[in-house]
Amino acid sequence: MSEQVLTPAESLKDQARLALGQRNLVLVGLMGVGKSSIGRPLAQQLGIPFVDTDVEIERVSHMTITELFAAYGEPEFRALETRVVKRLLEGGPRVVSTGGGAFINESTRQHVKRGSLSVWLKADLDVLWNRVNKHDERPLLKTENPKQTLENLMNARYPIYEEADLTVLSRNVGKDIMVKEILAAIVEGKAAEGKMP
């Protein structure tokens, strides 16, 4: 009887999938860290569905995020976001990409912490600014000094993002490298859980 040999890539994605179990994998972090662009190939590697909460919010409201902010303001948008995230987390397992402010909301954060594995994609200001300043659809950056606004958001939100289960540094490397690093963090996180007293 021959023994099957797994390649390192197969082994890593299989180990990560096993470590995730029936939990959702929730990606959190500021706009521009790559939650959606990395979330799709990550879900593909894990063999589970991918969902972007911003896309789902737009689908159920029949409005863009920018239109929602303009029409109802941030508090109403956050209330809708919380309801959508809660509903999405009831199914699973899946990779869930959240909006930058979702995890900041206490209620949403508690939903994520119950039965999901959260990964904070952390990036420095220059990386984020280079990614977001090319786009005009970021409602929170429609200010006189958007780079300063982005830095203010980092200062306010990073201490809360630190509550995520895992942290992976988002930088200017290929998506495949980021996916591999997240898979490795899931496996290492599970191994660390097993060593806890």
Residue ranges of the annotated binding site are 32-37, 54, 78, 100, 138, 157
Q: What is the 3-state secondary structure (H, E, C) of 79-120?
A: HHHHHHHHHHHHCCCCEEECCCCCCCCHHHHHHHHCCEEEEE
The first and second tokens of residue 171, run together, are 């930088």
32: left (phi over 0), alpha (psi -120 to 50) or beta: left
Task: Give me 30's structure tokens.
Answer: 């500021």
Whole-number Å distance between alpha carbons of 156 and 177? 28
Binding positions for ATP: 32-37, 138
Q: Structure tokens of 4?
A: 């099957």
Side chain identity at 103, as an amino acid letter?
F
Binding residues for substrate: 54, 78, 100, 157
Report the distance separating Cα 64 and Cα 140, nearest Å: 14
Specify binding-site residues for Mg(2+): 36
